[in-house]
Chain A
Amino acid sequence: MKVISLNFLTCAVKSCKSSGAAFPLHPKDAELVQDDIELNAQMLLNILPRLDWAALRTNATELGFPELPAELPTREALEADEKKLKDLHHLLVETQIMEGKLVCRNCGHEYAIREGIANFLLPSHLV
């Protein structure tokens, strides 16, 4: 699972959906793998405004990445600074969590990630 996808995932428990504490999920014991993927600048620039930037900052720090700026840099700033865009590409698209857990801070449930695939099926007492 790529870091970018983490930005669109939340707890599957119904009563957590309305809780601010359920997003983002927090990686735990995460084993990261870095892939070499060609940068698609147009695609990335279009995706960036769709991210919840505060959640991304939280997850990036949790995964051991350098702290991101408080605000999403503007499109112009990123177009003018290829290094900045490449760093984001590296974090969002090239980094994946292969093994570990995703923890919901509202209900405490931990979702396992194995071979890059998170399992969101709920035990019967949480359905």
Chain B
Amino acid sequence: MTAGTAETSSSSSFDPETYESTHVHSVYEAIAPHFSSTRHKPWPLVADFLASLPPGSVGLDVGCGNGKYLAVNPSLWLMGSDRSANLVSLARENDGRGRRRQRLNEVTVADSLALPYRASSADFAISIAVLHHLSTRSRRRAAVRAILDCLRPGSGEDGRNGEGKAMLYVWALEQGSSRRGWDEDASQDQLVPWVTKAGTGKTHKESDSRKPENDTTWHRYYHLYRKGELEEDVQAVGGVVLHSGYEKDNWWAICTRGLEM
């Protein structure tokens, strides 16, 4: 069972919304409890970013999945959103340690391309492992802009005072050391299998070779970002990249909304 190259924008009849509905949204709705049970540990750089923010900062987790970041720093007002209603239900109760949280999280069901947030109001935003599920570059860039639009503009002489910051994380094409073995020569558009074991509610790892008859294999669409591509997309929509880097098969960037366009 290997990942398959996805047929996306190369086809003339390609409809990204229908494609993502089939190859992203429906899959997460179906695998939500299994997916969630494998996603507990916050990634350290994201946890560091959240820990660095002053108490009372107001922020967004766009594509919050099962909500594993929502309770990492309880002195923040962090509102999560996700396209999958089933993941949002799980996110509402996630205390970040795989248990039910005492104070329920603030979550809504929303599309990353039609976010329901007041413009220029957030001190920060995170969007972790989300942008790579959008199947065209224009949609990925529109999603970045939609996040940046929510951030507070800076004030003061240098225009940086109180400026909102977003942390973005996407899957990298350069995964030479991972079991998936992609590298710079692989196709950037991939269908990645997720196997749910029939009846047990447990999942196989993607590399697991056992596969009884009645298991179900789902394929999620991913766009694998090559080096520099995330920064290019942020800049293309007027954002400013403050820091960026590579961490365990992912590219990340911390950025601001930039000057008004």
Binding site for B on A (CB under 8 A): 1-2, 4-5, 7-14, 17, 23, 35, 37, 40, 42-47, 50, 52, 111, 115-122, 127
The reply on B54 being an interface residue by CB < 8 A is yes
Complex contact A47–B106 (CB within 8 A): no
Complex contact B109–A42 (CB within 8 A): no
Interface residues on B, range: 20 to 34
Complex contact B56–A10 (CB within 8 A): no
The reply on B61 being an interface residue by CB < 8 A is no
- CB-CB under 8 A from A35, the residues of chain B are 103
* CB-CB nearest in chain B for A50: B58
List the 10 closest pairs (A to B, CB-CB), nearest first: A46-B56, A120-B110, A120-B116, A12-B116, A119-B109, A12-B114, A47-B56, A43-B56, A118-B108, A43-B55
Chain A contact surface mostly: loop
- CB-CB under 8 A from A1, the residues of chain B are 106, 108
* CB-CB nearest in chain A for B110: A120
Q: How far is the CB of A16 from chain B (nearest CB, A)?
A: 10
Complex contact B56–A117 (CB within 8 A): no
The docked-state distance in angstroms from the alpha carbon of A111 to that of B257 is: 28
A-facing mask of B78-95, CB < 8 A → 1, else 0? 010101010011001000
Complex contact B108–A13 (CB within 8 A): no
* CB-CB nearest in chain A for B149: A17
Q: How far is the CB of B150 from chain A (nearest CB, A)?
A: 9
